[in-house]
Structure 1
Amino acid sequence: MAIITPLKTAAEQQLAEQFASIKAELPGAGAMRKVREDAFAGFEAKGLPHRRLESWRYTDLRNLMREAMPLVRRPARPQAIADRLALQTIAGRRFVTIDGIFSAADSDLQGLPAGITARSLAEALTEAPDEIAAAFAPPEVARDDSALMLNAAFAQDGVVIEVADGTELSQPLVLLALGSGTSEASIVSRSLVRIGAGAKVTVVELQENVGPAPVQVNHATSFVIGEGAEVEHVRMVTRQRAETVQVQSLLVELGGHASFDSVAVAVNCGVLRQQSFLRYGGEHSRAGLRGINLLRKQEHSDVTLVMDHAAAHGESRELFKTIIEGEGTGVFQGKVIVRQHSQKTDGGMKSHALLLNDGATMFNKPELEIFADDVVCGHGATVAQIDAEQL
């Protein structure tokens, strides 16, 4: 039998060359070194995600990434970075990355409230490589995602935050990720947030590119939420060049009797895929994912999510709204999985889109995979235009 080896694109070849040249310099030894090697081997076997993959049908990353930009090694610091930091007015503890590299000087590390510890991913990988390496394991529903494999292989920094059991914070933890945009570059980072049992926390993620150059961004934020904890999460992606290509991954492991409420906002986002993988690891847990996408010109926003009900008595709610003008494209792919033993699951998913002109495009693809017989699950999707005669 003949073995057909798919041709590698220029970007895939460049990524292989980059990994070979810098893998020894990336933080983390021992188990983390193996995580990186295995992740890149998995990526090489699959290549960049493309439209023939059902989960990437509407966002052909292989076509969008004709070339792989060089990985940022030292962040630039133009005046625009200082100006943006001076304008950041959200009350709370700020943790800053610039071009994917943690900036301790710009972060609020001194006098942290009791029960909070924070450090850079690079530092954590130096101090406890095996422990942090375990946190890079992908969820079952995302094991074949080659974008996540790339993230595991190349991620060189980010933020690691741990919240002790029972801690209640009155102000949010703000993760501010700034791209300098001084030159074309690839930014790969990962942040880990561990929330102890019974804690109550708000986490805000802001992603902006302050310079003129387009970038390629692959970022992942991983939450591990303990028993009975309550987490509110906000993510905003804005001020991106039209040529910028981003993959933002949200990974959530939800303990029993815990809750996770997330709001995602995309404005001036360039080409953006926000993919969320949430697993119910304990009973009587609840999660709500909501989002708003405001698209114009040729912007592209892909919201893909998988809610994996792996425990009984779980509740999930998803509501996303998209407004599109010009030749913008919106995508909503939502999947709710109910495992065989996950009885009494209650799931509801909706996507609504408003097209402001004939050139706008929206794709809706909600799915249910139900293997239990005592559940209440449903989904709905609408796409509409404004009647010119009603304006």
Structure 2
Amino acid sequence: MTNPRVQKAMELINEQEAIDFLRDLIAINSVNPPGAEAAVAEVIQSHLARAGLRAEVDEVLPGRSNVLAELTGVAAENKDQRVLVFSGHLDTVPTGNIPWKHDPFGGERVGNKMYGRGTTDMKGGVAAMVLAMEYLHRAGIKLQGTLRFAGTAGEEVDCLGAKAVAARGQVDDATAMVISEPSSNRPFIAHKGALWLDIVTYGKTAHGSMPEQGVNAITAMARFIHELESYSFTYEHHALLGSPTMNVGVIQGGVKTNVVPDQCSLMLDIRTVPGQVHATIVDELKQLLISVCEPLGAQCEIRVANDLPAVTTDAQHPFIALSQGTMQHLWGTEEPVSGVNYYTDGSIYGPHLQVPILICGPGEPTLAHQPDEWIDTERYLDSIRFYLTLAAAYLGIEEQ
């Protein structure tokens, strides 16, 4: 049975109010690069201020800010109190070259679908977490622990904002975390790591009619790509995440048809599972690259562009069990835990905090980064109910 005061908080949820707030966030272009998340942070700060809650906009770089807010528990002086952190990022990926049928910054609603860049990934989750805090406050609920929201810049590229939060110790007292990345409101407890490599081969320019006078950097890279097809990762199969993957994302080289290219670059996206050592992968690929370049007289280099570890939480952890129990209570369904291939700010927080991390948000994972991205508005409203109920259950409520 739902606590009467939690029930009061849920009754305060106003659909139009929630839709309008999300639309305000969608209307702000925070495509990364360049990000410009400060405008999103300021809207969240202003919204919470009107509700009587204090939020701090924390600049990371010019025009790029995090926003932090909290509901301080009645036992704030108790160092042993629980601290639940709600986490979400404020930037989005670009809208892409494929034309949209709906304005990507318009927040147009058609039935139960609301369209816009970031609706699913992940301004929908951010808005739901902010509103959950607001409704708990408006219901007069006094938590026995602390609920904190950390909205960060830069997750879509390099987790810039989360790195700043960790470096500044702003969530160091966390005892549990929820990240509202898209999961269709299902409980994800693991995600893959990301190792992005910039690889360059260097040759020697010559006239295209006399290729023997030069060293073709594209040929060297082509041979390296061919060898990648037989490259085998060293890893243990993960029950939720399966196996690592590798994708050749970008390749560039050459200046003109009749010129032997002296440079070729490749961007490689590797997604890893827990237990893999990224430095070992880099060393193995470097040796492979050298082995194909040296016979051709080509030079080469590998640069790590992104290095984020995989994240996993024990499925038997009490916080995960509480989250699943909350879902069953609200929706009447048993939701098994699972993992996801994308990465989150959890790659920064996980190693830093060593606390249970739940990934659960109202967006649909398959719609992330897609044209005409949308969110189911009913699922969005459900996520507000989930966040505020989970916060009350985990942190406890002062008896009145």
User: Which of the pair has more CA radius of gyration?
Assistant: 2
TM-score (norm 1): 0.25
TM-score (norm 2): 0.24
Larger proportion of helix = 2
Q: Which has the higher contact order (CA 8 A, sep 6+)?
A: 2
